[in-house]
Chain A
């Protein structure tokens, strides 16, 4: 376990969040990218529902209460296609 003491988040925190999101049964998201900025971590990616986005943020905040987190996670659109692709 990486203990975080309020400084800029380090590479191990990034790795641990990435694995946490993949391996925690409540989340199981492998498509979230964790990017270190100077003073915070930014979570990028897309999920299938707003509920899943909230779960991700809740889980990360719970495990790393001192790490400032910015979320840029979107919910994937599920509308019917407007165009087809013609193949030979």
Chain B
């Protein structure tokens, strides 16, 4: 069995530092890894990233993250990534990593992802340059996720994104904003590999549970959705 803790959308700044830490200190006793589903910061500044490093660094379990749209706001992504990496946090963007856990090898592939909408109601690569750029961004990030997932050699495969791969976990959000909350291409990428679980954030008013068309379980771990410091999932009894 592999134990995964996960949360997203913590939007840290100085005013939040210390709120998560007491619960995080319990992680070594209840999880093999902590996965963060993006929007770690409010505006994506280097100083906010230092707040993330302070709160989520040195936990005694590996921490793996993707960035979210908020983490891009101030165009300081390289500085944010460096601060996180210096704190021992693995940052994924179209890449993957494998952790040796007591219950087997946990593979995590991650990407921020992008909007675009869901099958039959999505944006198309057609028309103005701005619309084409929007859709091509969604396509390329999903393709990177699929490739990263398929390349990992592990016992249990998890996909980590900020944007949602399915509409199921958006239930509660206004239908009109679904195209800004995720894209079906991410789900297609997840279904292209033997993925056991897909975790995402971004949809604060969404719901926790869904599945991809291929049957992969999807969990929205946005902090406003789970309403606790993190959720814990036990997976893969068969690999014990």
Please report A residues at the B interface, Cβ cutoff 8 Å: 25, 28, 30-31, 33, 45-46, 48-49, 51-52, 76-81, 84-88
Contacts and interface: CB of A to CB of B under 8 A. Distances in A.
Identify the 5 closest CB pairs spanning chains A and B, nearest first: A80-B23, A31-B204, A84-B232, A49-B15, A51-B15
B73 interface: yes
B20 to A, nearest CB: 5
SS class, residues of chain A in contact with chain B:
loop
B196 interface: yes
Nearest to B234: A86
B200 to A, nearest CB: 15
Interface in B187-239: 196-197, 204-205, 217, 219, 223-224, 227-237
Given A80-B23, A80-B228, A81-B228, A87 B223 contact: no
A28 B204 contact: no
Given A77-B227, A79-B229, A84 B16 contact: no
| Residue picked from A78, A79, A85, most chain B C-beta under 10 Å | A78
A30 B204 contact: yes
Contacts of B219: 85
Nearest to B203: A31
Contact of B15 (A31, A46, A48, A81): A48
Contacts of A45: 204, 224
B19 interface: yes
